[in-house]
Amino acid sequence: MDILEIKDLETLAQKRVPKMFFDYVNSGSWTETTYNENVSDFQKIKLRQRVAIDMSNRTLATKMVNQKVSMPVAIAPTGLTGMQRADGEILAAQAAEEFGIPYTLSTMSVCSIEAVAEKTKNPFWFQLYVMRDKKFMERLIDRAKEAKCSALVLTLDLQLLGQRHKDIRNGLSTPPKLIPKHVYQVLSRPMWCLRMLTTKNHFFGNIVGHVDGIKDVRSLGSWISTQFDQQLDWKEVDWIRKRWGGKLIIKGILDPDDALLASKTGADAIIVSNHGGRQLDGASSTINILPEIVDKVGKLVEVHLDGGIRSGQDVVKAMCLGAKGTYIGRAFLYGLGALGKEGVTKALEIIKNEADMTMALCGRRDVHDLNSDNIYSKS
């Protein structure tokens, strides 16, 4: 099939990834209202087409937290990436590295920090969840430092785990439970199975073997279910910042007042994010709230955005509304599930080509020149 847009990769991934793991990517919490509006609200924004303007010598190159990037896009942290494709985190990190953009490894990755570092040349970013086990958190931060991760992405919006109906109905687990439904789902994807047989990375690599009393996946579920820290506050953010000592990006900001508080922590950037619509259902889409947050703190801290980006046009719209960088999650996961590393690269190529052409047709040659003047407004 011709792969022309991210939707094509999504269609192919659905055919190649076991249902429970594909649904894990393609789901939001409760009614999935916020999950869907993350995408649909981008579609409501109209760009201003300009003509008879020199469109030559264009560039999407910029910086995110002072790191040079080939376009204002980073790969977002996503849990269970290694269940979309064997060694998925490694493959995605390699594709991002070759493309010249940041890769962010999740705390809940299948491949460990050390496994990804061993197979990549350049530093990647690491995403941290705040756990109740502070000794584990200290070790995790120190491991990220030892792996020379160049930024810590601290996620604040998972003190409680949002309910995702598809995961419950699928009985999602890693590795899959040996029940008929799961056996069928896995065996119906023979190439996926064969690849999984060639890797040693099957569990949560950052956790198993690194937590007291957690030696195998059987004891993992009960530990995880009690670990997300419901008492998380800004004092703990300060403790993490000091322990880390490097570039800090705070993820999960969806309110201007929280954005202001985050800007006072010394963070290098914040990510306007609703966890891909997987936490508070009924919350604002990220692109809808972005302008208000930029107005509040855009001069105080670098503002990034994730959620709903499925095209280069979406990247351009976010930049027009004040974002200094964007993140893709599902878009790269579709590519990974469809074609592995090649699919991640294809997703990045699609987004870059669309962003480049969109910027040109808006009359801009440099991504830094995009602003609200490029957005059509009836007011």
Catalytic residue list: 275
Locate 6 and state its tokens. 């991210």
- Integer Cα distance of 106 and 111 in angstroms: 9
Q: Which helix (H) or strand (E) holds 326?
A: strand 325-328
User: Do the beta carbons of residue 61 and residue 352 sit within 8 Å?
Assistant: no
Q: How far apart are CA 218 and CA 228, in angstroms?
A: 19
CA–CA gap between residue 131 and residue 139 (Å, rounded): 12
- In angstroms, rounded to a whole number, what is the distance separating the alpha carbons of residues 58 and 56? 6
Separation CA 43–CA 74 (nearest Å): 21
The 3-state DSSP class for residue 59 equals strand
For the chain, helix (H) and strand (E) counts, in that order, are 16, 10
Phi, psi of 58 (to 5 degrees): -85, 155
* DSSP category for residue 176: P
